[in-house]
Amino acid sequence: MSSKKTALFGLAVLRPVALSILSLFLVSACATAPDPTDPEAVSEYRQINDPAEPANRAIFAVNEVVDMVVLKPAAGMYRDLVPPPVRDGIHNALNNLRSPVVLFNDLLQGEFERAGTTIVRFVINSTIGVLGLGDPASSLGFEYHNEDFGQTLAAWGLEEGPYIMLPILGPSNPRDTVGMVVDLLVDPFNWWAHNTDRDYVTYTRAGLRAVDERARNYEALEDLKRSSLDYYATIRSLYRQRRTDEIRNGDDSAVSPAPGLSTVPDGPRVRKTEEVSLSQ
């Protein structure tokens, strides 16, 4: 393919992301810095790691409106009108289309066994599974797992950086934002669509993925929105914890203290020392 096309494709993908990030800085309000003489407040501020909180909240509010007007109704209709087996088929096919990107990241993380699973799944599901609509591989013991370049960067030791709320795309951080762009750029199906002037395929796929994801979490998100005191802060915490879990591939979360427990000052394990220090 010509290098001009390459550049164009990169630009087409990168532009919205770049704009999103730029807009973050345009709304350049910053979170109130903590009192530097209060070490607890300082450590809390670092832990929350959301220096652009006011801007992030503003973007989150806009995203919520977009969700209310577009995504949520679409997901609701999708759930109500499309029968479950069809939705499962679409979900399977979307997962199957991600295989090259998952494989790419399995390999970069040195997860060769998982890479093997990804290849076997792709072969079985694309053929016997009829273009990935079915998932016979799972019943043969080759279950789906996801990987992305954000997780690869984490596996390589890169910190996530501050929390960022991306317009439309939702919660992220610099590491995962870069990861998202890399995943888009390496995805062979995106290349194929672009080189055959079928970019609409890429957009349709992205749209379907959003609707599928939203529909699958429909109740969970509504519940969360209704019962949380601060939905924004709750989502921020959930995003971080889920990413940590995904990066560890869901392994043994209890070998170490549960995520965040050790950082919450009044946990049972810490309390004793605190009592000691208080009595001094």
Partner 1 sequence: MKISITRNVAATAAFLFLSAVALAGPASASQSDDAEAFINGLADKAIEALTTSDVGEAERVKRFRQMFRENFAVEDIGKRVLGRYWRRASDDEQKQYLQLFEDYITASYAKQFASYTGEELVITKTLAEGETGATVFSEIKLPGGGQKPVRVDWRLEGSGKQFKIIDLVIEGVSMSTTLNSDFGSIIRNSGGKVSGLLKVLEEKTASLKNVN
Does position 19 interact with partner 1 (CB under 8 A)? The reply is no
Residue list 230-269, contact with partner 1 (CB under 8 A): 230, 232-239, 241-242, 244-246, 248, 250, 253-255, 258-261, 264-268
Q: Which is nearer to partner 1, 130 or 261 (CB)?
A: 261
Nearest-approach distance from CB 226 to partner 1, in angstroms: 7
What is the x/- site pattern for partner 1, positions 124-163, by CB under 8 A? -------------------x--------------------
Q: C-alpha distances in angstroms, 192 versus 5, 29, 74, 187, 210?
A: 12, 41, 27, 9, 21
* Token reading at 47: 């832990």
Q: C-alpha distances in angstroms, 128 versus 18, 90, 99, 118?
A: 40, 16, 16, 15
Q: Could you give the CA distance from residue 216 to residue 76 in angstroms, rounded to a whole number?
A: 10
Tell me the three-class secondary structure of 225-264, residue by residue.
Answer: HHHCCCHHHHHHHHHHHHHHHHHCCCCCCCCCCCCCHHHC
Q: Could you give the CA distance from residue 18 to residue 132 in angstroms, rounded to a whole number?
A: 33
Give residue for tokens 């599901």.
Answer: 125
Axis crossing angle, helix 218-227 with helix 72-81, rounded to the nearest 10: 140
Residue list 27-86, contact with partner 1 (CB under 8 A): 40, 44, 48
Nearest-approach distance from CB 210 to partner 1, in angstroms: 9
Q: Which is nearer to partner 1, 8 or 261 (CB)?
A: 261
Residue 160 burial by Cβ neighbours in a 10 Å radius (0-12, 13-18, 19+):
buried
Q: Which is nearer to partner 1, 191 or 232 (CB)?
A: 232
Q: Interface with partner 1 by CB under 8 A: which range of 20-28, 75-83, 102-110, 209-217?
A: 209-217
Does position 110 interact with partner 1 (CB under 8 A)? The reply is no
Q: Which is nearer to partner 1, 100 or 171 (CB)?
A: 171
Strand, helix or coil at 166? Answer: strand
Q: Which residues bind partner 1 (CB under 8 A)?
A: 40, 44, 48, 88, 143, 170-171, 213, 216-217, 219-221, 223-224, 226-230, 232-239, 241-242, 244-246, 248, 250, 253-255, 258-261, 264-268, 271, 278
